[in-house]
Each structure stands twice: as C-alpha cells, then as structure tokens.
Amino acid sequence: MDPIERSELQGIISAVVEGQGLWCEEVVIGGSPGDRVLSVVIDRIDEENGVSLDTIATITQEVSGALDAQGDSIPELGAESYTLEVSTPGTDRPLVRKHHWEKNLGRIVSVSIDDDEPTQAKIHSVDAQGVELIVITPGAKKGMPAKYASPVHYDFEHLTNAVVQVQLK
C-alpha cells in the first residue's frame, strides 16, 4: 500500500483536517460547471468513536477559510462557485487502507479473499503487509452455532470488497 499522492487541493484540505488530529479520507469535486460540490470525507484514525457534529462544523469552517485564503482561484476549482460538504464515511464504506482495518480490529467483515465469493470473517490483527482473519462458517442448520477457523494472514492485495458488518446488540 503505497502512500497516496495528493493534488494541491487535497494538500490544502488535508493540512486543515490533519491539523485537527483527523484523517482526510477523500476529496472529490462533483456536480456540473456552475454548480460544483466539493465533498470532503474525514474520519478518526485510531478511535472507534465517530466524528462529532461540532467537529464537522469546525472542520467545515476551517477548510472554507483555507480555501478562501487561496484568493480568486482555488486549485482544481478555479474561480467557480462551489458548495462545500464535509462528512464522515458511512458504515458501508469498503476497507481499502491499513488504518481502515486497524480501526475495525475485532469486528466482523464481509470480504472476498482471492476474488472468491464474499465470506464473513473477524479481524484478528493487522500489520504492514496485511490482515489476520478468522473466517466464520455458518452453522450447518438454522440455530446451530457458527464455526470459527484459526487465524490466517492475508496480504492486502488478496482482500477485496471488505465491508464491516453492523452488529446489533
């Protein structure tokens, strides 16, 4: 997993977000000319708790200020008007980076291993190369307990379509 190269716009926004101890997950310009939407997705790296609405409001104000400081021409947006949207990733956001896996340590995911059909697994551990998963096999019949395999390590490139499964308590 190579470091992600950032554009000038991403660099400006990421500096603000990371200055608040958060992770700038994504910066996307959408909409059509004259009606642009600048979407910024932020998250916490090392905590299970989400980002509060107050924090989102603060980040929105700070990102807006940093972009206003660019003057009449914002990188990648130029002088076009835009709507700034700051949000957090949803629960259905795929796990594609190491910190996504780390943040969800101990949780159940649906994941494709080596492009096979998705399977349920519990995230056991994470290292620089990949993830150790405990694959879960459903009970043979309704009401029978699931079987948990021994942990197996998979390199990141062998794992696709990984999504956390929301567990209701």
Over residues 108-121, the pLDDT tens digits come to 999 999 999 999 99
The third-level CATH classification (topology) of the domain covering 98-164 is: SH3 type barrels. (2.30.30)
* Residues in CB range of 68: below 8 A, 6 or more apart: none
Tell me: domain 8-87, CATH 2.40.160, correct? no
- % of the chain surpassing 70 pLDDT: 92
Higher pLDDT, 57 or 166: 57
- State the Cα–Cα distance between residues 32 and 35, nearest whole angstrom: 5
- How do residues 71-109 score in pLDDT, each as one tens digit? 888 888 888 888 999 988 877 778 888 888 888 889 899
State mean pLDDT over 41-63: 84
Which residue from 127, 132, 169, 129 is spatially nearest to 149, judged by alpha carbons?
132
pLDDT band at 124 (very low <50, low <70, confident <90, very high): very high
**Which string of DSSP letters, residue by residue, matches 82-106?**
EEEEEE---TT----SHHHHHHTTT
Whether the pLDDT of residue 3 is over 60: the answer is no
pTM: 0.64
Give the max Cα distance, the chain.
65
Amino acid (one-letter) located at 43: D
- At 6 the pLDDT is 67
Domain borders along the chain are: 8-87, 98-164
